[in-house]
Amino acid sequence: MTQTRLALLGAILFSCTLSAAEITESAQGWALEFSSCSRGRGSAVIQEATDGAVDGVAAAYQSAKNALSSSQERELASLLPELSSLLNAIESNPGRLQTGDSFLQGSETCVAVNLPLSIEAQQGEGDWLWDEAGDELSVRVQATANASDGLSASQAAEFAALQQAVWQGLNLIVDDPSPFIHLQAAPRQFVSEWMVLENHQQGDSATVVVNADLNMAELNRIANNDYLAAGEPVFLVHAEQPRFAEPLIALLIQQGYQITQSFDSADIVLRVTTELRTAGDRSQLALSLSLLDKASARLGEWQNEPAVVALPTKEGIETRLFGVHLASEDNQHSIVTMLQSGLMQLSQAGGRYNKIVFPKNTLASQAQLQRLLGQHHYIYSPQLLTDGEQTVLAFRSRMANNSLMDTLIPELLAILDNKVAVNAVSNNQIIIR
């Protein structure tokens, strides 16, 4: 009698624990249903339970199989896969484990998990192929070139075709690809595969038609970098107390930005202002950063929340407070965000502030200059200023001055008095004498 009762009790307990995992049939076939739980509440815990679902498969499958009646077992004998092949199938396609709504169960938060048991039906599916397709772009370009620099005419034409292909890809990603003109110098890093479809030789020149597969992911990575898009401006950190400049310089270098110590070669000035506020025995530090460009355009502001950290007043507390505010991850994140949006703003305004200086009387016709600037669409908001005996052409551009030397400068020299030549080139100034 007691034994029967124990057995009964066991059966009840057994069925209770098993209700958590079962094998069910739906229109899509047989599936394993169970719940994956994790202690706690909130989205982080739901994620934990979802991530942990795969670990629960083995136990759930085992107990769900044990719960089958003998007739069900006979019916399903041929349909149920081995545990190992089920796990392999999940490994090759984690999307098979479908998680549904979350629900609370005591101190745990659970997600409902559904795992189809028919392995073949799902094979070969999966949406990752689409993603890869999005990373590649096939373009067909035609280019003509003469033999030069040790390259045969057809080699040069092929190179020019790849350059064009990269340019086309860039045009799809950004409105103005001019800051990325230097990427054309080595186009092959963005082309995963190419094929020459046609090749015509005519005298010294060759014309080729090339089909090129562009690596759009790599192009995207570079084109969507605010720093590169703004024309790689050079930063100067200005703080009244030099010790406050150092940590910010370190932060900028960490971002991969160029730093200078001289005001002349700076494109952007990051100004640091601090104010120590002491109330009673506690001190707080108000810290503000402003981002200005060479033409005094305000690119960004950031202020800390002084009340977050209040420390006992003592000597050197200002440095300590500065260090703590800057070490805060949230602050670092918001400073970097401010820098990035400043760079984006700079890029939208047309790029770095740049100057070309030439002697006052060498420019014969302003109209000629205007026409020239109109042809170079990467020159933004040009202005002609007079500075003593010099004429200054101030403008914004995202293109590096080295590239300007190859593009704008030869044409500018052509309309200037032919006695002048480029005297000096810096990152934000070209002097012609």
In the complex, which residues of this chain contact other proteins (CB under 8 A)? 40-45, 104-107, 281-282, 305, 307-312, 320, 323-331
Q: Please, what is the minimum distance in Å from the beta carbon of residue 328 to other proteins?
A: 4
CB-wise, 44 or 424, nearer to other proteins? 44
- Name the nearest CA neighbour of 139 among 66, 71, 65, 191: 191
Amino acid in the structure at residue 100: G
Most distant pair of Cα atoms in the chain: their distance: 119
Q: Please, what is the minimum distance in Å from the beta carbon of residue 57 to other proteins?
A: 24
CB-wise, 297 or 311, nearer to other proteins? 311
CB-wise, 83 or 308, nearer to other proteins? 308
Question: Is the Cβ–Cβ distance between 137 and 169 less than 8 Å?
Answer: yes
Question: Is the Cβ–Cβ distance between 432 and 404 less than 8 Å?
Answer: no
Q: Please, what is the minimum distance in Å from the beta carbon of residue 37 to other proteins?
A: 13
For strand 29-39 and strand 21-26, is the pairing parallel, antiparallel, or unpaired? antiparallel
3-state secondary structure of 31: strand
DSSP label at residue 68: S
Q: Please, what is the minimum distance in Å from the beta carbon of residue 229 to other proteins?
A: 31
Amino acid in the structure at residue 84: S
Q: Please, what is the minimum distance in Å from the beta carbon of residue 54 to other proteins?
A: 24
Q: Please, what is the minimum distance in Å from the beta carbon of residue 395 to other proteins?
A: 42
Question: Is the Cβ–Cβ distance between 252 and 236 less than 8 Å?
Answer: no
CB-wise, 147 or 276, nearer to other proteins? 276
Question: Is the Cβ–Cβ distance between 23 and 117 less than 8 Å?
Answer: yes
CB-wise, 238 or 320, nearer to other proteins? 320
Identify the bridge partners of residue 206 per DSSP, sorted by sequence position.
145, 201
- The alpha-helical segments, DSSP class H, found in 255-391 are 317-327, 329-349, 366-375
Q: Please, what is the minimum distance in Å from the beta carbon of residue 246 to other proteins?
A: 13
Output the six-digit token pair for 195: 């094929």
CB-wise, 312 or 388, nearer to other proteins? 312
CB-wise, 58 or 250, nearer to other proteins? 250
Identify the bridge partners of residue 300 per DSSP, sorted by sequence position.
291
